[in-house]
Amino acid sequence: MREKKPPRIGTEGRNFYVYFNDGRSQRKTLRTTDLRIATERFQGWLDAHNSDTIVDDDPLVDQALHLWYEQWIKGRMLSEERYPSIIKHLTKFFGHKRISEITRRHSVEYGLLRFAGEIGKNKAANATVRRELQALRACFTFLQKRVEPRERRISEKIIPYLELPPEGLPRDRVFSQEELQTMRDFLQNHCDENSLPRIIAKSNRLSRLSRFVNLAMETAQRKTSILELTWSRVNFENNIITFLPEGRAQTTKRRVPLPISSRLRTVLECAYEQRISDYVLDRKTSIDYDLKKMSRDTQISGLTAHVFRHTWATHKAMQGVPLAKIAMFLGDTEKTVRKNYLHLTPDYLRDVVD
C-alpha cells in the first residue's frame, strides 16, 4: 500500500501549488510565483487544514467556538449576526485555554473583566455576561453531542462548570399612550397631503427611524426581526408580514406571520414607493443611535427597542385581550406571557375581592 504523503508545496510552470491527499490527490493554487509569499500562504492553508482535519479530544476553546459557529450557528440562527462579537469576547479570555483547563474561577474572572470594560468596547451588564457564558456552555454541549465528524466529540468529563451572573431584574418600563403619541408627533414634523409621518431631513423620504418605530409599535417584534425585514416578505395583497427569513428554522424566539394594521399599512405603502433596497429599513445596521437621539429630543427616558414590545403586550393585556392571543402575536409561549402579564388583565383576582 502506497504511503500517504503530507501536504507540500510544489510548482507547475512558474506558479506554486499545495499538493495534498484527502482520499484522492488534489492541488490548490497559492496564486503566486514568489517562493516567500507561497511559503506564508502554505502555512496559513496548513493551519486551517489541520484545524479542520486533526481530531483533538481536548481542543482549544477558540477552535471549539469556530466549529460551533460554522456547524451550528451560521445560516441557522435568526440572530446569527450577534454571535461574532460574542465569540470575539469569549476568545479573548478563553481562546488559548483547553476545555479541560477551564474552572469555575475562570468564568467568574471573565465576568469581572467584562463588567470593568477590560474585554470589549464597553462595560457589560449582568445580562450580557450571562448570555455570553451561556453561549460558551452551549458550545461545549455542541462539541459533546453534535459536532461532526463524530470522532471530534468530547467527553462530558472535561466540560467545566461555568458560574453565571444572576439574571437581570425584569424590565418594567412601559410607554404611556401620551409618550407613544409624543413619538408619533416627533416623527411627523414634515407631512405630505396624506399626513404620513416624516422626520425633518433634506428630503421628504421616510427616515429609517420612522419606519422602525412604526413597525415596533404595531408589530411588537424584536429589534433584529425588524432590521432584517425585507420587502419580499411584506405581502400587501394578503396584508401579512412574514418576519422569518426564507430557509431559516424557527428558534425559541419565534417569528410568526402577522397582519398589517391600517396605521402601519399607510406607512409601509409610502416606504415601499421610496424603497432603495430590498430591506424595509434600507439596511440591517443598528438603529440604536437614532433611538437615543429621539430619546434626548423628546425627553422620553428608557427609550430602547425592547420597550416597544413590552409596551404593546402590557397595553393589550390591560385592554382584556386574551393572553393566548397575545402569546400567538408575540411568538412567545402562553406560559411566558401569563407569567409576565396575567396580573395586568382586568379580571385578575377580581372574584377574590368582589
Digit-by-digit pLDDT tens for the chain (354 residues) are 455 678 888 888 888 888 877 667 788 888 888 888 888 888 877 776 666 666 678 999 998 999 999 888 887 776 778 899 999 999 999 999 999 999 999 999 999 999 889 998 888 888 889 999 999 999 999 999 998 888 889 999 999 999 998 876 555 789 999 999 999 999 886 343 333 444 434 457 899 999 999 999 999 999 989 999 999 999 999 999 999 887 666 666 678 889 999 999 999 999 999 999 999 999 989 999 999 999 999 999 889 898 999 999 999 999 999 999 999 999 888 888 888 888 888 887 777 876
CA angle 97/101/102 to nearest 5° reads 85
The full DSSP string for 65-101 is HHHHIIIIITTT-TTGGGHHHHHHHHHHHHTTSBGGG
Please check whether residue 73 is in contact with residue 86, taking contact to mean a CB–CB distance below 8 angstroms: no
Q: Is the pTM of the predicted complex or chain greater than 0.85?
A: no
Tell me the residue ranges of DSSP E strands in the chain: 8-12, 15-21, 25-29, 234-235, 240-241, 258-259
**pLDDT computed for residue 51 by the predictor:** 61
- d(CA 87, CA 84) in angstroms, rounded, equals 5
Residue whose C-alpha is closest to residue 62's, from 86, 105, 98: 98
- d(CA 186, CA 183) in angstroms, rounded, equals 5
End-to-end CA distance of the chain: 90
Class of domain 177-344: mainly alpha
**pLDDT computed for residue 78 by the predictor:** 64
**pLDDT computed for residue 74 by the predictor:** 84
The full DSSP string for 153-169 is PPPGGGPPP-PPPPPPP
Please check whether residue 221 is in contact with residue 256, taking contact to mean a CB–CB distance below 8 angstroms: no
The full DSSP string for 131-196 is HHHHHHHHHHHHHHHT-SSGGGPPPGGGPPP-PPPPPPPP------HHHHHHHHHHTBSS--TT--
CA angle 221/222/225 to nearest 5° reads 85
Grid cell for residue 8 = 507540500
Q: Is the peptide bond before 170 cis (omega within 30 degrees of 0)?
A: no
Residue 227 φ/ψ, nearest 5 degrees: -60, -35
**pLDDT computed for residue 52 by the predictor:** 60
Please check whether residue 256 is in contact with residue 328, taking contact to mean a CB–CB distance below 8 angstroms: yes
CA atoms lying within 13 Å on the CB side of residue 3: 3
Please check whether residue 210 is in contact with residue 199, taking contact to mean a CB–CB distance below 8 angstroms: yes
Please check whether residue 35 is in contact with residue 47, taking contact to mean a CB–CB distance below 8 angstroms: no
Rounded to whole angstroms, what are the CA distances from 90 to 85, 108, 157, 220, 230?
9, 13, 21, 31, 32
- d(CA 254, CA 332) in angstroms, rounded, equals 7
